[in-house]
Structure 1
């Protein structure tokens, strides 16, 4: 009513009512024809007038002042849990609609409420702008990457497909990032996210152990027909995923592929280590220690080197981070100095073991069973570099597989490294921005971890390690399934920067006094 009050329906409006009705009938008829004739990837054309109308309504909304931060935080936490625990290949497929499952329902609610809140709250807009500017260089890298994903759409061989992919990325990448930046400034929300991540990872790892024991996904023979959206996809997901030349079963738990399952566990593992070390109470600590072992078993049973690399990186980097932090905060303590002195010795011993112990060598560097993957990756780079050089700006979102044209022995188009996908889709500029964003955050995260007080702010340490694990694993895995979670972790890093600036009384670059000031309680 606050929007419609200035407008009155006079005589002129009543005259045009029949014409308006005819226009609506014609529009409805045209929409029906387009829905019937257009392929699914072009269905967004039908939605454009509706999207424009919704955007106009959001623009007209008055500043309500109320910010539903608690509701948005709850939805974000629920989505993180649902995205991990619910297999996304179990969905309801209704004609004319995308697949419907619990994670997507939560994301839809998250998107709608976020848009309404952003449009009707100047407070949220100011706080979000301040949060994004808390690390200026990484903020610039994010917007350069975002711009390249948009500018390359017209260069795509299939612009409608690339536009559809770009819209999905805004929901699952950009939305998750900006919400994490804005929400995690508030005390308690980061801890809620981390607790859900940790216990969800432990649960699906226990499922993976049982799955490996029975050599099949536990619910494989119990899926109701109305959740079987794609029989061919189910066949690939639930069938054998063993390496070429081997029949070794590879656990995947609730994930489509064992590789993405291992990646998920690898980027959550630093948080499990952190909670295990910092938690109080022997019962809780004992459960977390058991969880550490369960998640390690899950990574091992996935048969993915990326999981084991993530495990070793998590242990060594967290040990180094913690030792350096202890020495920095307590210079007169011998513990920090001793731990720092042990780091190079431990690193040398680990390197010697990895070279001398065959099983450890295979876990990290690979063996004969990994030769096919390594050769495929080498061949893909040799095929991809000329195509990158032929169009250094990029071929558009979602086009890397078609542009590269590499097929596995099973006849499926595939790419085994995300960095080649980045170069093909977003060119050298987009690739450099991504590397700076996810690789460069390490320096800011480490600096903030060293001066963070005990408690929630110290979570920036495991978040930084998790992102570094993600950054390394992307060199051998092109799947984007865990990308939304990586953007949530990146948002945590930005949020801790805001909190430390607010505590130190510093203004966020580009703004005078920091809008957060007194941070609200969770």
Structure 2
């Protein structure tokens, strides 16, 4: 019986026996080569054999037909899971299968989200258009973000270890480059940022309670109960179990689910403004009590990290939040005595705080440091003195992830280190990369400040904690190189832009668009609750 072939498909010409043998031999050769490379090459060089496969995947995605529709619900859920799991799940606890990278719930969430984003991006012109529209304004931020991406990309040319640089660069495209526009797009739908903020608060509260117990027993208690299949790196776990007391002291420093207390303090400084905001806005009695206790608990845990960055973040968030609130009160009601009084009294409050920090010894040590902090401060001074000549000699950087080797500074434990993300960024990606990187957060923070005064919904009022979290992030990065919180910073920056988009497109954000007379108004396509296909 003759087969029927539907248009536009055509019957292909079957290869002859010789062609089949040659194709089979070629396939077998490729399999042998890839098997040898997988067995011989170390994990940091596994990116080389992956390049041809990634190119083939890219070609396949490019050839997929345009099906339309946007999988916004799936992407939103996975983004929230990624952030929540990233807080409560330690990144050093993972499944380790031979020949594969560490597998954690956080990575499962982010790579599932990546797969959906890539497939939806390649099969939906609608999604591409909405994504482009969301990040098109403000133009300055759009230019800054892509120029920063260009700096990091161009620096790969100068890397003396391209395999390691490309590996880190690929990770940054997922955890940095993708997170900002995706978060901005998801935040244009009302409710997403509020849900994300609540997940951050709840997840942080869980880690906070665990931190208090950790301080009580002076030990990361869950490490004693980890099953063997989750102990992927015994040497790393041993370092996590060691005391992090400063030189000359035996004070235990809480680290929560993070590898070090410094990483934990950076995260706490970024999320503390959310506790502050929700507590200030809550009007129901029992929820207010719970949030107030949570805020007090946050302050306690930030103190228990014994990190200056946490205390600086605490003070900066508190004093700047008063500025946000006073400016909003003044804008909403120019006749308000309370708002006017807060604005006028704000400079005096800042001056009093400055006097306390400088002349109250205990507060001075907590914020600016004392004798036990001198070694860290001296190390950073030495690193900057070593770094400037190297930066000017290589103005385009030494390549992503090459800052430590380029600087050549070793701590007392004999480990190569760079203690400032600012210095690391310039050594990695060039002198222009740092101001561009900072502007990716300063511009959204400023726009949050400008737009918060006229925020129309409780969700848009989250512009205040988002701005304060970004400000604290940029402050901490002066003295900390860890990149663990950079994805969260890009997500917060994207959420800020999405909320500002909501404010400037009030009708669209409410799910209403203008329609001809007599017709029914429909929500914008990217606001639709489910995926739709167009044949």
TM-score strictly above 0.5: yes
The question of 1:37 aligning with 2:40 is answered yes
Query: Which of 64, 69, 83 lines up with 2:67 in the alignment?
Result: 64
Q: Larger deviation: 28-37 or 339-348?
A: 339-348
Structure 1 residue 518 displacement after superposition: 8.1
Are 2:69 and 2:127, in contact at CA under 8 Å, matched by a contact in 1? no
- Partner residue of 2:513? none
Q: Map 1:41-440; keep pairs closer than 5 Å.
A: 41-440=44-443
Structure 1 residue 15 displacement after superposition: 6.4
Q: Larger deviation: 376-385 or 351-360?
A: 351-360
Residues 325 and 13 of structure 1: CA distance in aligned 2, closer, same or farther (over 3 Å)? farther
In 1: Cα distance, 2:445 partner to 2:485 partner = 19
In 1: Cα distance, 2:20 partner to 2:460 partner = 59
Residue 480 of structure 1 aligns to a residue in which SS?
Answer: coil
> 1:162-211 CA distances to partner (integer Å, 9 max, x unpaired)?
00000000111112112101101001100111001111111111111110
In 2: Cα distance, 1:197 partner to 1:395 partner = 36
Residues 98 and 12 of structure 1: CA distance in aligned 2, closer, same or farther (over 3 Å)? same
- Partner residue of 1:464? 467
Q: CA RMSD in A?
A: 2.1
Structure 1 residue 232 displacement after superposition: 1.4
> 1:482-507 CA distances to partner (integer Å, 9 max, x unpaired)?
0000000110122123222323899x
In 2: Cα distance, 1:516 partner to 1:316 partner = 40
Structure 1 residue 312 displacement after superposition: 0.6
Residues 372 and 64 of structure 1: CA distance in aligned 2, closer, same or farther (over 3 Å)? same
- Partner residue of 1:512? none
Are 1:502 and 1:516, in contact at CA under 8 Å, matched by a contact in 2? no
Structure 1 residue 451 displacement after superposition: 1.9
What is the TM-score when the length of structure 1 is the normalising length? 0.95
Structure 1 residue 289 displacement after superposition: 0.5
Are 1:135 and 1:497, in contact at CA under 8 Å, matched by a contact in 2? no
Are 2:72 and 2:526, in contact at CA under 8 Å, matched by a contact in 1? no
- Partner residue of 2:24? 21
In 1: Cα distance, 2:499 partner to 2:6 partner = 37
Are 2:70 and 2:526, in contact at CA under 8 Å, matched by a contact in 1? no
Q: Larger deviation: 456-465 or 311-320?
A: 456-465
Are 2:444 and 2:497, in contact at CA under 8 Å, matched by a contact in 1? no
Q: List gaps (5 residues or longer) in structure 2.
A: 510-521, 530-535
Are 2:502 and 2:508, in contact at CA under 8 Å, matched by a contact in 1? no
- Partner residue of 1:520? 527
Structure 1 residue 358 displacement after superposition: 1.1
Residue 219 of structure 1 aligns to a residue in which SS?
Answer: helix
Structure 1 residue 380 displacement after superposition: 0.4
Structure 1 residue 355 displacement after superposition: 2.0
Residues 13 and 490 of structure 1: CA distance in aligned 2, closer, same or farther (over 3 Å)? farther
* Residues paired across the two proteins, number: 513
> 1:455-476 CA distances to partner (integer Å, 9 max, x unpaired)?
1111112111110110111001
In 1: Cα distance, 2:10 partner to 2:389 partner = 60
- Partner residue of 2:517? none
In 1: Cα distance, 2:523 partner to 2:245 partner = 51
Are 2:448 and 2:496, in contact at CA under 8 Å, matched by a contact in 1? yes
Residues 472 and 4 of structure 1: CA distance in aligned 2, closer, same or farther (over 3 Å)? farther
Are 2:211 and 2:301, in contact at CA under 8 Å, matched by a contact in 1? yes
In 1: Cα distance, 2:253 partner to 2:489 partner = 24
What is the TM-score when the length of structure 2 is the normalising length? 0.92
In 1: Cα distance, 2:278 partner to 2:498 partner = 20
Structure 1 residue 4 displacement after superposition: 11
Are 1:3 and 1:60, in contact at CA under 8 Å, matched by a contact in 2? no
> 1:320-345 CA distances to partner (integer Å, 9 max, x unpaired)?
00100110111122111011122122
In 2: Cα distance, 1:75 partner to 1:44 partner = 26
Structure 1 residue 293 displacement after superposition: 0.8
- Partner residue of 1:496? 499
The question of 1:487 aligning with 2:463 is answered no
Residues 7 and 215 of structure 1: CA distance in aligned 2, closer, same or farther (over 3 Å)? farther
